[in-house]
Structure 1
Amino acid sequence: MQTPDFNLLVTLNALLCEGSVVRAAQRLGLSPSAMSRALARLRQATGDPLLVRAGRGLVPTPRALELRAQVSQLVDEAEAVLRPQAALDLKQLVRTFTLRTGEGFVETFGPSLIARVSSQAPGVRLRFVSKPDRESAPLRDGAVDLETGVVGKALGPEIRTLGLYRDRFIGVVQAGHPLSTGKLTAARYAACSHIAVSRRGIDRGPVDEALELLGLERRIVTMVGGFSAALALARSSELIATVPDTSTRSLRADMHSFALPFPPPEITVSLLWHPRMHADPAHRWLRECVREACAQHLANPSTNGALD
């Protein structure tokens, strides 16, 4: 069997990224005719046209779309192998990292993380973006450097993870709510009006499963897409918000927080990243900063939002 020409991977990556023979040629410093010949060789090697004419441009075939992420990762890894590893100088590092985080992470751990990063690497900026879903595509395509959240079934099998902390669900109501006085039982909790939190519009979760074991069902009167919205509603009504303790602590100041009167559901919040960034020194440093910031906060928690 003839050994494949691995240089074609670089060519294929450029073609799939640019979607144009001319732009791919410019990217690699080749002539358009040389790139056209390379595309012909790629078509022969893969048995697929890869890029086909559509009007004045080219569009990728399904096979090309299937290969794009894999080829990009292979080229990135090959370049990393052949690139000299320079010592990381944090004082000279100029870089913007994008972190995709769940609700409450920035408010809870952001100040400690930003202070830690700024003191060690003044030229580094952190860009926090919201996390509307659990898809790993932003990590895979490089739009996001790091992500925090609960590892779910939608996570790509290649994604690396590191557990940051355990969190448990608690109840939160406005000051003066009937549940803030008297003995709290599971039946009393379930009988009140509740806010369900679900990004996918599902009105049943771990809390409902825990209540079902007791033969109880909570009365859900409204549903929101996030914990901050649930807390905002609970702050100005008699509704109950059931939220993670640690990651919402700074969001529920002046509210009454209480332990659930039944075994509370627990979750593990993890740090997630794509394997192509695993060996990058700056990325590795940032991951350690996140881990240390979380550990520091958990060792010295604020009293805001503490359980009553």
Structure 2
Amino acid sequence: MSRPDLNLLVTLDVLLAEGSVARAARRLHLSPSAMSRALARLRESTGDPLLVRAGRGLVPSPRALELRERVGQLVHEAEAALRPASRLKLGQLKRSFTLRSSEGFVENFGAALLARIEAEAPAVRLRFQPKLDKDSAPLREGSVDLETGVVGRSAGPELRAQALFRDRFVGVVRPGHALAQGGEPSAERYAAARHVLVSRRGSSDGKGPIDTALAALGLAREIVTTVGGYSAALALARDSELVASVPERHTGHLRAGLHSFALPPALAPQFTVSLLWHPRMDGDPAHRWLRGCVRAVCGADS
């Protein structure tokens, strides 16, 4: 069975509204003969005469009366779908979004982000989801709306990315630790301490970028234990002689009460934390507004 010509819906809507082939033709800028041919096609498609001659005019058939409201609504919805998006009314916006991020993002930026959303769009809800891997499938599939992280080779090539801030790794110890004394420690002093490693995959081989940089200097650090997140690493550093190495901006609030020190530049080059999303959301006004909120909050103290 062939698919119906949906363009005929507009013609039918105008014919039923005007009740006249001539007037409908003028309204659609068609000739009377072209409109008559369109009416013939509509009659063939619906299996109904639709408009029946009565004296000098036309009157709608029962089927036409039944269709008039439905067709009008369909045409209205189709026209609305094909118009540019209307201006976003944040006060009336009711949406839920999911933001996936590494540990530390919520602790440092979550409260300010929620406050901004509450002030501008109080009916919007934001769900924070932990980022346990670098798989970009959730963004492609739509289960995640936004994601923060370092753009790597594993990121889908189609994803959009915008820089949020620059970050670097710092060393963290309890206030009475030996590395808290005597200024910024050298690479040798840092390597000689005992360390806690953060590994989301649970790896304890100590082959992170810091260890690669240390190896280039002929140094190696002793990894005493491995944890899955920055909070756990900092908790151990707080109550032991272990050194935790964590991203500075990401862990600002988590490091409260601890002593932080800059690592030698060769061990801790800066990296960019970006906001990622799927290109199908580029033109969505609400999504675009949320992206702006995240950028504003993350850049407030950069």
| TM over 0.5, shorter chain | yes
1:238 and 2:241 aligned: yes
Q: 1:295 aligns with which of 277, 289, 299?
A: 299
Using the aligned pairs only, state the percent identity: 62
Q: 1:261 aligns with which of 264, 275, 288?
A: 264
For 1:201 and 1:106, locate their aligned partners in 2 and report how far apart those are by CA, in whole Å. 22
> CA RMSD of the aligned region, Å?
2.0
1:182 offset after TM fit, Å? 2.4
- In the alignment, what sits opposite 2:251? 248
- In the alignment, what sits opposite 1:185? 186
- In the alignment, what sits opposite 1:221? 224
Q: 1:277 aligns with which of 258, 264, 281?
A: 281
Alignment check: 8 A CA contact 1:100 1:131 kept:
yes
For 2:97 and 2:135, locate their aligned partners in 1 and report how far apart those are by CA, in whole Å. 19
- In the alignment, what sits opposite 2:32? none
- In the alignment, what sits opposite 1:125? 125
For 2:163 and 2:143, locate their aligned partners in 1 and report how far apart those are by CA, in whole Å. 22
Q: What TM-score comes out, normalization by structure 2 length?
A: 0.70
Q: How many residue pairs were aligned?
A: 222
For 2:83 and 2:224, locate their aligned partners in 1 and report how far apart those are by CA, in whole Å. 58
Matches within 5 A, 1:1-308: 82=82, 84-182=84-182, 184-202=185-203, 203-263=206-266, 264-298=268-302
Deviating above 6 A after TM superposition, structure 1's stretches of 4 or more consecutive aligned residues are: none
Partner SS state of residue 216, structure 1: coil
For 2:152 and 2:296, locate their aligned partners in 1 and report how far apart those are by CA, in whole Å. 24
Cα gap change, 1:135 to 1:249, in 2 (>3 Å): same
- In the alignment, what sits opposite 1:28? none
- Unaligned 5+ runs, structure 2: 4-79
Q: What TM-score comes out, normalization by structure 1 length?
A: 0.68
Max Rg structure = 2
Cα gap change, 1:83 to 1:141, in 2 (>3 Å): farther
Counterpart residue type for residue 216 of structure 1: L
